Structure 1
């Protein structure tokens, strides 16, 4: 069923209200796990939709494709600025994330769904399993929300 008038998108305000309700009902930790898992599933599906699964693209090309799909021309989840390899880790630099929208500077809010979406896409495209974490936040005065991924195994 397609929404004929409203289409596929709805407000950040409504999604953030759902997150707050989940945190109230389930607790912050369980909600973070659920949202990260949901984000990973979304990222994997996005990679499949873009026909990128297993392509092993260079990180700059992958960043460009995710920037388009997740940014202002796509779902508007976030802006993917760049994805780079630093030693044994991969770092994704994002801005205007769903998670930080409407939050006060100094908030401890983490980007769980957004982290998961980038994580799932990376795993699907590169064919590797990663451990991911949100290591820098615009809410803590940083220039970007930075997600760090290390290969498992």
Structure 2
């Protein structure tokens, strides 16, 4: 990946990103911000998968998971750590930690992953070639060991 900024490189801090989110919530309201951040994440996830050459891929779920882990984790953009992508009877479950959305939030907070959920959502849609409905079901802020995102195909 090439640097977009010659001295500061491609990344900025979680503190600044959280300030953007809170500012959007103040200006637009929580619901409009959630819609905007999730949509932005979906767009990012789709473009990431396209750049990795994984659109409608025949690669195994394990191979796709490893490539997304690298692209979004420590070796990549550092958006989150993807621990597992599991296919269920009616969709997928994705297990993540250290996502940008819940970082720094107090235990018990009802904050949901928005951009991160969207990024994983868009990535899965692009990999599989189907539309999904996504939901943040388990949260590290509510005592879970990992954030869990569930994706079910539109009927």
SS in 2 for 1:43: helix
Work out the CA distance in 2 between the residues paired with 1:56 and 1:146.
25
Work out which of the residue numbers 114, 117, 122 in structure 1 matches 2:119: 117
Counterpart of 2:67? 65
Give a deviation string over 1:87-142, Cα, whole Å, max 9, x none: 11200000111011110000000000000000000011110100000000000000
Counterpart of 1:28? 30
TM score, norm. by length of structure 2: 0.95
Extract unaligned runs of 5+ from structure 2. Answer: none
Equivalent residues of 1:57, 1:125 under 8 A apart: no
Counterpart of 1:79? 81
Counterpart of 1:92? 94
Work out the CA distance in 2 between the residues paired with 1:30 and 1:49.
29
Equivalent residues of 1:93, 1:146 under 8 A apart: yes
Counterpart of 1:12? 14
SS in 2 for 1:31: helix
1:133 aligns with 2:102: no
Question: In the TM superposition, what is the alpha-carbon distance from 1:58 to its structure 2 partner?
Answer: 2.5
TM score, norm. by length of structure 1: 0.97
Give a deviation string over 1:28-69, Cα, whole Å, max 9, x none: 011000000000000001001111111143322221111100
